[in-house]
């Protein structure tokens, strides 16, 4: 298959590209290198030393004798070039990861909010627009997020994208209908993924595009079978307050005996998936496209759920690092439950890597190994969801204070 990976230089895009190339697909990475530019902006870098995209693909080609092409292009702003690329490469499938993907970054300032909305919306729309304009038959696999569901407990397991509901008729009787799960985004970033959902729904309906949306949990882990094949193929690992996801942050904190920073009470329950499973899921999605005329096919791409404070305890037990409770920079519920259906991927044969089996490895092989590269000043989360919250962010509170406040 000819597969374009938009955002193929990023944290998921890179291992996904290698994984798909390794399966024998003809892969082109399309990327504007924005993730690396944001590292420059924030003055941070991946914990793992990553090579340039040009060097990465050269090494891959040498080792595996399979070529991956690279096209430096901005999906959100270079629509005409995108069309030319489609005509030239004639992809069967496109993986769409070309979006700003950090919630804290999206809330950093009004400039970051505007960038995230403008970039993410136009990237998705340009992709769909070009495919319709060229009358191309391309399956689009879009990376969404569990965050589109929000984390308010509806007393039921979160289904895969569509919620069966009963609606009252005018005579008072009920009728059943299945609706796109009501969006409840918790940040500007998550909001853009909700906007994406509606755009996908429209293009599936009006133009019969074949679209898959992967509602992904928080990804942990760094390496996949392919990225392990050479030190220069290593995947990026973010730990800073904006791009570092919760487990990565706990792991590097543990590696340098920095107190594990739990936000609020740590009562937030979230969904998780290992990067190796994430790229397997993408492969499964690629191989199981919807038919023309179908609504967007939605998979929940996660394998387990955990409460944040339980994860902190787990990492604390592994490492001996203490736990510290901080003001939550986010506006969100202090505590939530989360049950999620991930039937589709399990039924397609996914055999998940669990946190229990993988976490220690990640601590030793990644966090401790590269700990000399950690910049302690970049650890605190500094992007607040509102200006009022921002004023409180410097405080470190005890769990009792946080509970009292809540």
Where along the sequence are the contacts to its own copies (CB under 8 A)? 79, 109-110, 113-114, 117-118, 121-122, 125-126, 129-130, 132-133, 135, 154-157, 163-170, 174-175, 177, 179-180, 182-183, 185, 187-188, 191, 194-195, 198-199, 201-202, 205-207, 331, 339, 385-387
CA atoms within 13 Å, Cβ hemisphere of 199: 20
* CB of residue 177 to its own copies, shortest distance in Å: 7
CB contact at 8 A, 380 and 261: yes
Shorter beta-carbon distance to its own copies: residue 239 or 385: 385
Burial 56-82 (b: 16+ CB within 10 A, else e): bbebbeeebeeebebbebbbbebbebb
Cross-sheet strand order for the sheet of 218-220: 218-220, 269-274, 304-307
* CB of residue 173 to its own copies, shortest distance in Å: 9
User: From CA 283, how far away is CA 403, in angstroms rounded?
Assistant: 43
Shorter beta-carbon distance to its own copies: residue 61 or 178: 178
Shorter beta-carbon distance to its own copies: residue 209 or 255: 209
* CB of residue 247 to its own copies, shortest distance in Å: 25
Contacts of 109 (CB under 8 A, 6+ apart): none
Shorter beta-carbon distance to its own copies: residue 80 or 291: 80
* CB of residue 148 to its own copies, shortest distance in Å: 10
CA dihedral sign, ordered 309, 310, 311, 312: positive
Phi, psi of 79 (to 5 degrees): -55, -45
- Supply 319's token pair: 């490492």
| CA-wise closest residue to 99 among 7, 36, 164 | 7
* CB of residue 156 to its own copies, shortest distance in Å: 5
394 in catalytic set: no
| CA-wise closest residue to 33 among 64, 9, 57 | 9
CA dihedral sign, ordered 46, 47, 49, 55: negative
* CB of residue 43 to its own copies, shortest distance in Å: 23
77 in catalytic set: no
Shorter beta-carbon distance to its own copies: residue 156 or 364: 156
Catalytic residue, chosen from 48, 116, 124, 145, is: 145
Catalytic residue, chosen from 113, 115, 192, 193, is: 193
Neighbours of 174 (CB within 10 A): 10
* CB of residue 164 to its own copies, shortest distance in Å: 7
Shorter beta-carbon distance to its own copies: residue 194 or 286: 194
Shorter beta-carbon distance to its own copies: residue 64 or 117: 117
145 in catalytic set: yes
User: From CA 255, how far away is CA 371, in angstroms rounded?
Assistant: 7
* CB of residue 157 to its own copies, shortest distance in Å: 6
Strand partners of residue 385: none
Catalytic residue, chosen from 115, 189, 203, 258, is: 189
Shorter beta-carbon distance to its own copies: residue 14 or 105: 105
Residue numbers annotated as active site: 145, 189, 193
């Amino acid at each position: 298959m000819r597969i374009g990976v938009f955002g193929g230089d990023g944290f998921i895009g890179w291992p996904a590209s290698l994984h798909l190339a390794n399966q024998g697909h003809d892969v082109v990475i399309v990327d504007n290198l924005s993730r690396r530019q944001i590292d420059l902006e924030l003055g941070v870098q991946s914990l793992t030393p990553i090579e340039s995209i040009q060097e990465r693909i050269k090494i891959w080609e040498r080792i595996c004798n399979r070529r991956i092409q690279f096209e430096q292009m901005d999906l959100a702003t270079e629509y005409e070039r995108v069309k030319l690329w489609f005509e030239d490469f004639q992809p069967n499938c496109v993986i769409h990861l070309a979006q700003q993907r950090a919630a804290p970054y999206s809330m950093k300032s009004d400039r970051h909010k505007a960038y995230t909305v403008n970039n993410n919306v136009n990237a998705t729309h340009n992709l769909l627009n070009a495919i319709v304009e060229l009358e191309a038959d391309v399956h689009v696999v879009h990376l969404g997020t569990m965050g589109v569901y929000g984390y308010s407990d509806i007393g039921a397991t979160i289904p895969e994208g569509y919620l069966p509901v009963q609606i009252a008729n005018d005579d008072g009787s009920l009728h059943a209908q299945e609706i796109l799960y009501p969006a409840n985004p918790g940040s500007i970033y998550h909001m853009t993924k909700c906007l994406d959902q509606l755009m996908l729904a429209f293009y599936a309906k009006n133009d019969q595009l074949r679209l898959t949306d992967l509602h992904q949990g928080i990804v942990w882990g760094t390496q996949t079978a392919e990225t392990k094949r050479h030190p220069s193929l290593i995947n990026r690992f973010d730990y800073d307050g904006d791009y570092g996801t919760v487990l990565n942050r706990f792991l590097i904190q543990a590696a340098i005996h920095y107190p594990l920073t739990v936000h609020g009470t740590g009562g937030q329950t979230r969904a998780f998936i290992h990067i190796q499973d994430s790229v397997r899921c993408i492969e499964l999605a690629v191989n199981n496209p919807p038919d023309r005329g179908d609504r967007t096919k939605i998979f929940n791409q996660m394998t387990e759920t955990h409460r944040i404070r339980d994860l902190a305890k787990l990492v604390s037990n592994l490492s001996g690092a203490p736990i510290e409770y901080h003001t939550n920079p986010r506006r969100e519920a202090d505590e939530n439950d989360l049950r999620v259906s991930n039937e589709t991927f399990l039924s397609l044969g996914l055999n998940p890597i669990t946190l229990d089996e993988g976490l220690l490895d990640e601590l030793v092989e990644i966090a401790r190994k590269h700990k000399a590269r950690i910049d302690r000043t970049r650890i605190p989360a500094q992007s607040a969801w509102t200006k009022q919250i921002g004023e409180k962010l410097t405080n470190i509170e005890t769990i009792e204070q946080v509970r009292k406040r809540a």
